[in-house]
Amino acid sequence: AQSVTQPDIHITVSEGASLELRCNYSYGATPYLFWYVQSPGQGLQLLLKYFSGDTLVQGIKGFEAEFKRSQSSFNLRKPSVHWSDAAEYFCAVGPFTGGGNKLTFGTGTQLKVEL
C-alpha cells in the first residue's frame, strides 16, 4: 500500500529565510506527487504536482519541489518565505496506474513564520 511521511509536524522560520519541507513516499512504482497548502479555516489549494518529466517542478507562490526517485522524496522548497506562507502543507501521492484519483496524504507540516 502507498504511504506518505512528512517527518516534521511543525516548522518555524523567519520571514525572508529559506524553507524546505520534507516528504517521503512509499510506492511500488512511479507515483503522481502533489503538494497542497491549507490556510486556516480554508480548503486545500494545489501548490504543484509531479507527473513525469523534469524532476524539478515549479508551482504557485514561488514554491518548487524536486522529485528524487533514489530517495523516494519530493521535498518542497522556497528561497525566501513571506509571512503569508504560514499555513499547513500536505504532501500527497496518487497511483500511476489504476486507482482512479485516490490520493494518500501525509499528516501535514504546520509552518509558522516569525516576523
Partner 1 sequence: NAGVTQTPKFQVLKTGQSMTLQCAQDMNHEYMSWYRQDPGMGLRLIHYSVGAGITDQGEVPNGYNVSRSTTEDFPLRLLSAAPSQTSVYFCASSPGTGMNIQYFGAGTRLSVL
Q: Which residues bind partner 1 (CB under 8 A)?
A: 4, 9, 32, 34, 36, 41-46, 49, 51, 90, 92, 94-96, 100-108
Coil, strand, or helix at residue 101? Answer: coil
What's the rounded Cα separation, in Å, for the pair 98 and 115?
45
Three cell numbers, residue 75: 521535498
DSSP letter (8 states) at residue 79:
S
**Residue 54 vs 115, nearer CB to partner 1:** 54
Closer residue to partner 1 (CB): 67 or 90: 90
Cell numbers for 112, please give them: 509558522
Q: How far is the CB of 110 from partner 1 (least distance, A)?
A: 10
Nearer of residues 81 and 92 to partner 1, judged by Cβ? 92
